[in-house]
Amino acid sequence: METFNHKLNVYFETWMGPRDQRVRGWLLLDNYPPTFALTVMYLLIVWMGPKYMKHRQPYSCRGLLVLYNLGLTLLSFYMFYELVTAVWYGGYNFYCQDTHSAQDVDNKIINVLWWYYFSKLIEFMDTFFFILRKNNHQITFLHIYHHASMLNIWWFVMNWVPCGHSYFGASLNSFVHVVMYSYYGLSAIPAMRPYLWWKKYITQFQLIQFFLTMSQTIFAVIWPCGFPDGWLYFQIGYMVTLIFLFSNFYMQTYNKHSASLRKEHQNGSPLSTNGHANGTPSMEHAAHKKLRVD
């Protein structure tokens, strides 16, 4: 296994250049196979989990969901705060920042971004809760693609570009996750659900995040500073895939929902204020059961 890891590391360095030595010895970062194996295990659970739960009663998981979402909300806030304050007081350049130009700030950014990488492993639990609660309609291609790809992408980021221009997307995403996980934590408490009105805007917020990250990455292409171009082009391409997939999700979930409401109104089918019409759940209620994107 050690020989295999060595050969794999040599291959990566031949392809992408020398690795950043500042993260040597850090948990999960020295070799790629553990991260890849965890991703394969995740995909196997995604495949086998619904089959296992098919003839079983769903689990509530309410208490665990509150604690889980609260924990990720706090972790996301910590990462956002630490990244923003480090960049602000450390004088990082917004348009482009190399990975070896501000040692003290770089070291702090690297520490926080390791937690960001590790949080992508923790977030696999999103899918596992869907499986345990038999919310299989939530386990979409977008959901799996986003979760599986982020852990692997950030292993490579942490090994080659663990600071500098890499901070921006992680900062925005951490802030979005503060909003998102606080929403899902509160929604696990039945008494709070009538007061949660901003679910629709979470997806809009995510799309704004992707556009801003892509724009800021393009700045580094236009005004280069030594940050590797290959990573910039990769991030732009990855943002394009997320914009496409999240936009499709938004249109499928909310635009069709609005069109259905207009059609029902034109056909004279009023919806009662408690969200039901003739004993059938309203479209508004159905929309809340639709896909979760994170």
Per-position DSSP letters for 154-182, written without gaps between them: HHHHHHH--SGGGHHHHHHHHHHHHHHHH
Residue 117: which of 86, 165, 155 has the closest Cα? 155
Specify the amino acid at residue 14. Answer: T
Reduced to 3 states (helix: H, G, I; strand: E, B; else coil), residue 214 is: helix
Give the list of residues 6+ apart from residue 161 with CB closer than 8 angstroms, or none.
20, 99, 227, 228, 231
**Angle in degrees, 0-180, between the axes of helices 124-132 and 62-90, rounded to the nearest 10:** 170
Cα angle, residue 108 at apex, residues 105 and 111 outer, rounded to 5°: 150
Q: How far is CA 75 from CA 112, 159, 203, in A?
A: 10, 22, 20
Q: How many of the other CB atoms lie within 10 Å of CB of 57?
A: 7
55 labelled catalytic: no
* Per-residue DSSP letter, 48: H
> Of the listed 6, 55, 143, 146, which one is catalytic?
146
Burial of residue 210 (number of CB atoms within 10 Å: 0-12, 13-18, 19+)? buried
Pick from 213, 204, 106: which is nearest to 153 by CA?
213
Report yes or no: 255 and 204 within 8 Å, Cβ to Cβ: no
- Between CA 215 and CA 33 the distance in angstroms is 33
Residues with active-site annotation: 146
